[in-house]
Amino acid sequence: MGSLYSEYLSPTKVLEHYNYTKETLEVPQTLSRQVALVLIIILCCAIVVENLLVLIAVARNSKFHSAMYLFLGNLAASDLLAGVAFIANTLLSGSVTVHLTPVQWFAREGSAFITLSASVFSLLAIAIERHVAIAKVKVYGSDKSCRMLLLIGASWLISLVLGGLPILGWNCLDHLETCSTVLPLYTKDYVLCVVTIFSVILSAIVVLYVRIYCVVRSSHAEVAGPQTLALLRTVTIVLGVFIVCWLPAFSILLLDYACPVRSCPILYKAHYFFAFATLNSLLNPVIYTWRSRDLREEVLRPLQYCRKVAGVQGRRGGTPHHHLLPLRSSSSLERGTHMPSSPTMLEGNTVV
Residues 155 and 160: their CA atoms lie apart, in Å, by 9
Per-residue model confidence (pLDDT) at position 350: 39
Per-residue model confidence (pLDDT) at position 25: 62
3-state secondary structure of 345: strand
Q: Tell me, yes or no, whether 181 lies in a domain.
A: yes
Query: Buried b / exposed e across 259-294, counting CB within 10 Å, b at 16+?
Result: bebeeeeebeebbebbbebbebbbbbbebbbebbbb
Per-residue model confidence (pLDDT) at position 304: 76
Per-residue model confidence (pLDDT) at position 346: 39
Angle between helices 67-91 and 31-60 (to 10 degrees): 160
Pick from 70, 3, 24: nearest CA to 268: 24
Q: Tell me, yes or no, whether 315 lies in a domain.
A: no
Per-residue model confidence (pLDDT) at position 250: 95
CATH for 117: 1.20.1070.10
Domains in the chain: how many in total? 1
Per-residue model confidence (pLDDT) at position 135: 65
Residues 131 and 128: their CA atoms lie apart, in Å, by 5
Q: Tell me, yes or no, whether 2 lies in a domain.
A: no
Q: Tell me, yes or no, whether 105 lies in a domain.
A: yes
Q: Tell me, yes or no, whether 224 lies in a domain.
A: yes
CA distances from 251 to 220, 243, 246, 248, 270 (A): 41, 11, 9, 5, 10
Domain of 47?
Answer: 30-303
Q: Tell me, yes or no, whether 82 lies in a domain.
A: yes
Q: Give mean pLDDT in consecutive 10-residue pieces for the chain, a chain of 352 residues.
A: 72 90 68 84 94 91 83 93 93 89 94 94 88 63 69 92 93 91 94 95 92 74 64 86 94 94 89 91 90 83 74 61 41 36 39 39
Per-residue model confidence (pLDDT) at position 349: 46
